[in-house]
Structure 1
């Protein structure tokens, strides 16, 4: 970045919801509760996947990866937001802004790809049940999870470099509650059409390729389930996929709205609330979506709780 750029020396001001002071007080309480629930729910999923042998399967391996992702993703933005909601100081250093953008983009991109991988896992479980353990070998699962993380952070590295190469000419007030792509580009004092097109193209690839994989997987799943004559068998097969489809709908719906649209259609106020949704509401909801109707997880939870109670 150009050393004459004043924002590189003074950092940034995250305006967040400072134009609505009464809303800030309400948001602080709501987001604190949501964040604690996010920590509790996702930590529980990770712990149960480690403690119960029945949950040490490819499905729960990817689910624990997703829970860890959600924990990191929420923690990269929400604690700072809570501090800013409680006090007048809404500053963030230049280095912290770069790190926040890189981490949030990397984790978000990784989740996009991981949800596609999880759809393939469900396809193998429903459509190739006799060969499932051979197809979803632990080594392949580890490779697919590692590839998701690598591709996600490679995309983040590219986008972060493209954004921070743009001269900001000393403008340092970001109309958002964290360092995100669109609000940062609005600080530029040059034409950013080329940067916006490159970032749009990268976002389309990261979002739509997994969506295509998910669509293909669930298309084959629906065909396979409809061939099952037993209504009980159909409900069981759809039940194993329903939670994942719900999570996919929540995450991709908000992410596509936030990133895959022309910049002239981008409303900053709408962007803030959509960002709140995918940074705090979706990570909080995911563990509850996966556990409320999942007998394996609820059974594992009862075992762990009963074991702790008996040990006392």
Structure 2
């Protein structure tokens, strides 16, 4: 399916059923006053819009009751100045004007990714290119704690980070992806905070505990953008990026540290190439292949959604290993 918002988009699945998507516009050159945040049903129906003229660098959707009384969870949305809005999903769906509950004021400029833990209620992971923060909102909007300071979390901030996400299966473990294709997992409040390190080398192969890549082993003409974890199988994660200008969606399993178990490519010929099945699938409306955000659905791990710079999001079914139908926020959509 394709979800389209004016400008680039960030997307996040709800953590509970029914499966829904939140999609938001990124900062851009557009001066229109269309809604910056939309909630969408999995069948393509636009359920709610909010944030007139707003643009967000990233969004995340928490589990139910991460703040007491918020039965549909909280949507966190970061602005380019580092401020994180906290929005009530239930109030937004009900059409209430006061869906904004409050915000987190930070000096980080800007956060490139947000993610809520599925285990520790209200624990928000926020990452910029050079910094990672954890915020605990479970005690309410007026009692937000910077969890990373409380727990003494220390991270190596010498690398340029492109993404960080919680492991959806293992409590208080998150993965950090840097621009060199190295994914390191950490555990909060653990004396040995580094769990494991994985590196993507030439050809898309995954190797464990490989700190430095030889020049001839580095993947050529690739840019890494984002990652996420499977909510059922703790060892599986997805990484998106661009390979020679083509959008890439790869699913790896740490138990089989070699080739990706699923490898999708969006090419310039408006086709989806599923390298696993060696088949071409026709896809409509692929104008920009640079994928910038990904989310692996928690409520139904059959779905992975990734969006490009133009705000078009593509949702894959892992069961059928194919791209699904199209959604368009600006009009009622037809889902294949």
Q: Give the TM-score of the pair, scaled to structure 2.
A: 0.23
**Which is higher, the Rg of structure 1 or of structure 2?**
1
Higher helix share: 1
Q: Give the TM-score of the pair, scaled to structure 1.
A: 0.24
Higher relative contact order (CA 8 A, sep 6+): 1
